[in-house]
Structure 1
Amino acid sequence: MLALAVTGGAIAIAIGAHRPATAQSDAVTIYRCTDDQGRLTLRDTPCRSGQQQEAREMQRPQDPPPRPDPQPVATTVVAPPPAPTRFVVVTPPRPLYECVTPDGDVYTSDTDEGDPRWVPLWTIGYPVVVGERPGHRVGAPRPRPQGERPRAPDRWPHHGAVVYPGVGTWVRDVCHPLPQAEVCDRLREERAGIASRYNSALQSARRVINTERRRLDARLANDCGG
């Protein structure tokens, strides 16, 4: 029940139980009651006996409609720029060959072609024609070879005769490739040998050693992982 009392300009509000008949209606009747002393009361039920009554229809207060759920704010997703393409150039390991000379000496080479040497054909089973060379003087000095590359010997003795120049051929030492693990071990041994020679080397020799050291370091890093 709703009751309002007006006394000296102040309004007192009393809230009571609503009648079931008006609880289901959207409109409500407000009764304006004035007693014999002039006091004003507002009620939702008829005035008491002996009070002056004035009734008014009013809209029943209603709760506001529920607020809609906030809509998600549309955001623009900017895709990150694509990662730059990286090109990695991998150089395959370089082979290392072990070569053997006819005397049994062993050395290593970066190619499968061993050191060249000139041999007469008769040493490899070919027949040759021998005889005295015209103008040959016994005891004459041997001509000096030209250039740094080995060349065919000037003459080969054969029971007092000589083989005519050119009766021979170039042959190379036999070489075979080493396993990669063996290649890395050989390179590390060579690197350690260079380091041990550095302290006792002259200044001019140290420059050569530094160049060789850088070459070995680069090859170890590429072919052996450091």
Structure 2
Amino acid sequence: MPRSTRRRRSLAIALALLACATPAAIAQQVVIYRCTDASGALTVQNDEPCPAGSREERAIIEPPPPMPVYVPQTPAPAPAATGTVTAAAAATPVAPERPDAPAPARIADADRLPPPPIFRCHTPGNDRYVSEDAEPKPRCVPLQTVGINGDPGLAAGAACEWQYDRCERIPDGEACDGWRQRGREIESTWRYARGDARAPLQEAFARVSTILSDTTCGLPPG
């Protein structure tokens, strides 16, 4: 028999022996004995040395790694409802609450005083608003700068222009309407304020609400 044919036959026999091995045997190393007797006959046997007088060749086959055992996982119970806010709930936008107005004071109608002066102001851009200050602080409005040749792309530095709002006192007969408008403007600004900016607006809204309830603005119409 040709040598190449004997090797292929030996490998086939070895694999057949390995396939027939029990799981307990596979868990350990397998020794394959390749035996050639005096006449040149070849035999392959599993875990059994060659007979005396035979030429012996051994091959050690390592066992394959064990297959992982699948263990079904029991679903974890749903967490109990607690006061902790989850990330999904924190990400849900919440409409801002209206600032709390103080409770109206119990003042006799005869003891009520007129509201403080309030002013209607105009910006250089013709915007109007109500202010408690007759002379609001000026604003430095940025100006566009240009280069020597008039090109804005070659401008260097920055510049601004101080702008002053013009304010006049609202007549006494319309002062209560002015204070109501002031309260609406504060509340509108408060709704879009963030962080530390809310507290001063809350205090301003409470002050305006007190003026509307404790002065002659709180009298019933008529």
Could you state the TM-score of these two structures normalised by the residue count of structure 2?
0.31
Which one has the bigger helix percentage?
2
Which one has the bigger strand percentage?
1
Larger Rg belongs to:
1
